[in-house]
């Protein structure tokens, strides 16, 4: 989350005071990301140092007591547009603990992988229920809140769908992992990690070749 660019975006609408920036930032992110005043002023100082904003009179008015007004500069506008339109970095696949747990569950004697999958699915759906309750209790017109909650719901739903798919794959096919004589948890985890890493390298290499 770039507070720096969020502040530039708010200032692109017109000059504003620091406290006003904090209030508008929170209102527009559905009040889900609290921002302290210190963060706002530190960010503004850096933006001013970099020539992206300038302080002084805000809204054509002189300073109001201790409050300083800020306005965006032309380089600030360019920086904002560049950030908005720059594609996200091609992310390295994250180290996914859920994936590791499922891979290990396949190997551990006495553990039923489908039970492990269901425990995680239930937990994720319960979390989704709580997020949906946030949305359900708010007005359909609270778009900022809906966008924030949707982002989290889709992220969690992705994990649920992966579990659903994993369950079907593991019913249809057996996962072949080379046997190791000494089945200590550390070795199992190491082996699962190496399976994940190899899979990610392979998937990434093929994606780049396409």
- Identify the three-state secondary structure at position 88: coil
Q: Report, in Å, the least distance between residue 33 CB and other proteins.
A: 9
Query: Does residue 134 bind other proteins (CB under 8 A)?
Result: yes
Query: Does residue 121 bind other proteins (CB under 8 A)?
Result: yes
The angle, 0 to 180 degrees and rounded to 10, between the axes of the packed helices 113-137 and 97-107 is: 150
Q: Report, in Å, the least distance between residue 23 CB and other proteins.
A: 17
Token digits for 91?
A: 């992310």
> DSSP per residue over 151-207, as a string?
HHHHHHHHHHHHHHHHHHHHHHS-------S---HHHHHHHHHHHHHHHHHHHHHHH
Query: Does residue 137 bind other proteins (CB under 8 A)?
Result: yes
Q: Of 156 and 189, which CB lies nearer to other proteins in the complex structure?
A: 156
Stretch that binds other proteins, among 9-17, 162-170, 173-181, 187-195 (CB under 8 A): 162-170
- Identify the three-state secondary structure at position 84: helix
Query: Does residue 136 bind other proteins (CB under 8 A)?
Result: yes
Q: Out of 2, 19, 31, 84, point to the residue binding other proteins (CB under 8 A).
A: 31
Q: Report, in Å, the least distance between residue 84 CB and other proteins.
A: 22
Query: Residue 91 phi/psi, 5° resolution?
Result: -75, 145
Query: Does residue 140 bind other proteins (CB under 8 A)?
Result: yes
Query: Does residue 156 bind other proteins (CB under 8 A)?
Result: yes
Q: How many residues bind other proteins (CB under 8 A)?
A: 34
Query: Does residue 164 bind other proteins (CB under 8 A)?
Result: yes
Distance CA 77, CA 160 (A): 40
Are 17 and 57 in contact by the 8 Å Cβ rule? The answer is no
Q: Out of 46, 61, 161, 201, point to the residue binding other proteins (CB under 8 A).
A: 161
Residues at the interface with other proteins (CB under 8 A): 31-32, 34, 114, 118, 121-122, 124-126, 128-137, 140, 148, 151-157, 160-161, 164, 167-168
């Amino acid at each position: 989350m770039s507070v720096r660019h969020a502040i530039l975006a708010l200032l692109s609408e017109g000059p504003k005071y620091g406290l006003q920036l904090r209030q508008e930032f929170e209102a527009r992110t559905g009040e889900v990301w609290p921002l302290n005043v210190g963060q706002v002023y530190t960010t503004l100082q850096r933006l001013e140092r970099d020539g992206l904003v300038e302080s002084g009179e805000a809204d054509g008015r002189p300073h109001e007591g201790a409050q300083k007004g800020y306005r965006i500069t032309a380089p600030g506008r360019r920086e904002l547009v560049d950030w908005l339109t720059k594609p996200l970095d091609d992310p390295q696949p994250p180290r996914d603990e859920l994936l590791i747990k499922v891979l290990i569950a396949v190997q551990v004697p006495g553990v039923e992988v489908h039970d492990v999958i269901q425990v995680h699915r239930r937990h994720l759906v319960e979390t989704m229920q709580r997020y949906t309750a946030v949305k359900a209790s708010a007005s359909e017109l609270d778009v900022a809140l809906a966008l924030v909650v949707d982002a989290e719901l889709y992220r969690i739903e992705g994990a649920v769908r992966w579990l659903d798919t994993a369950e079907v794959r593991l019913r249809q096919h057996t996962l072949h992992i080379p046997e190791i004589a000494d089945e200590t948890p550390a070795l199992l985890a190491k082996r699962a990690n190496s399976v994940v890493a190899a899979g990610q390298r392979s998937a990434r290499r093929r994606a780049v070749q396409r």
